Amino acid sequence: MVAPKQDPSPPGAAFGAAPRTPLIVSGFPRSGTWMCAHLLANSPEVELQGEMPRGDEVLAFLEGMKAHYAGQPADRRARWEAKAHELAFDVFAGVSATASARRPGARYAGHKTPRHERWFDRYEALFDHPAARPRHVYCLRNPWAVWRSHRVMPWNRLERVEDFIRAWTGSVGCWERMHDRAGERALLFRLDEMTADPAQAGAVVERTLLAPLGLDPARLIQPVGAVRNTNSAGQKLGAEPPPLDARDIDRIAGDRRVRDLLSRWLPEATPPEAAAQAPRRGGWLDRLRG
C-alpha cells in the first residue's frame, strides 16, 4: 500500500509576492458610490469596475475556488495564491454591468457596488494575502437626501419610510463593523462634505480618499472639479425628485438609531425643509427651532 503524499509546507507558510491591493467601494444606494468610484478611478493607480450584479453568486464562486485549492498540495496552493487576486479582478471586470476599465499597472483593483458592505467579512476572508489586505470605502450621505432620491428610482422596493430607516441604519451599522474590524483599511466618504463647498471639494477628496490610499493628486487624470455627477436623480430622471413631506422628515429624524448614527458619523446633518404643501404639525424641526 502506497503511503499518502505528505504536504511539505508548514502551517502558515509564507505567501508569494504581494499582488495588487483589492479596493471595494460600497454604501447605501444613492449615497455617492458612483461619484466616489469616479473620483478614485480618476487616478491612474486605480482600476475600479462598475457595479457587480449577482454579487452573492460571484463571491460564492471565488470562495469555492479558494476552498478547493486550500486542500491541494503546497505547489498547487502556491500557484493559486500567486494568481488568486488577479483572477478575482478578472471576474469583477467580466461581470461588471458597465464597460470594463483595465489598468494592469494600477496599485489597486476592485469594484464599486452599493450594499456590498453587508459582505465585508466575505471580502476579508477572500483576500487574505498579508501584504495586500483589502481596502474598503464606505459612502455615506444624510438619510433625508438618500430617501428623497431613493424613493423615486424605478428599482426602489422600499414602500414606506419605516422600511427605508431599517435598511439605512442596517447599512451604516455594517460600516461601523467595517470600521471596527478593518481600522485604517476602511475609509469613509461623506458625499455631503464634498458637495458642501465646491471650492473645497478637491481638498476634501485629497484628505479623505487620496492621502489615506497613498495616491498622488498630481497624477489625477482631470481636476476633481471636472468630475461631474451624471448619476444624480435629476440627471437620471430628467427632473429633480419632489421634496420630502413633513411626516417622512420627522420619522427619519425621530428614530433613535438614526440619531445615534448621525451623532457619530454625520454630526452636522440636519433635517431639510418640508414640502410646502405638507404642514409640519409641530414636527421635530419645529421643536428644534423652538
Residue 3, pLDDT > 70, answer no
Pair 121, 59: CB distance under 8 Å: no
Which band of pLDDT confidence, cut at 50, 70 and 90, is reported for residue 285? very low
The C-alpha cell that represents 239 in the structure block: 427632473
Helices (H), the chain: 33-41, 55-70, 74-95, 120-126, 143-150, 161-182, 191-196, 201-205, 211-213, 233-237, 246-254, 256-265, 284-289
Q: CA-CA distance, 201 to 206, in Å (whole number)?
A: 9
DSSP bridge pairs for 46: 108
Q: Which residues on neighbouring strands pair with residue 49, listed in sequence order?
A: 111
Residue 282 pLDDT > 70, yes or no? no
pLDDT tens, residue by residue, 105-162: 899 999 999 999 999 999 999 999 999 999 999 999 999 999 999 999 999 999 999 9
**Residue 42 in contact with residue 222, Cβ under 8 Å?**
yes
Residues 40, 154: contact at Cβ < 8 Å? no
- Structure confidence by residue, pLDDT tens digits, 214-247: 999 999 999 888 887 777 677 766 778 999 999 9
**What is d(CA 183, CA 102) in angstroms, rounded to the nearest whole number?**
29
* Superfamily designation of domain 21-219+233-242: P-loop containing nucleotide triphosphate hydrolases (3.40.50.300)
Say how far apart CA 70 and CA 80 lie, in whole Å.
9
SS3 for 278? coil
Query: CA-CA distance, 228 to 159, in Å (whole number)?
Result: 30
Contact criterion met (CB below 8 Å) for 16 and 130? no
pLDDT band at residue 277, thresholds of 50, 70 and 90? Answer: very low
- How many angstroms separate the CA atoms of 60 and 37, rounded? 24
Confidence at residue 200, expressed as pLDDT on a 0 to 100 scale: 93
Confidence of residue 287 (pLDDT cuts 50, 70, 90): very low
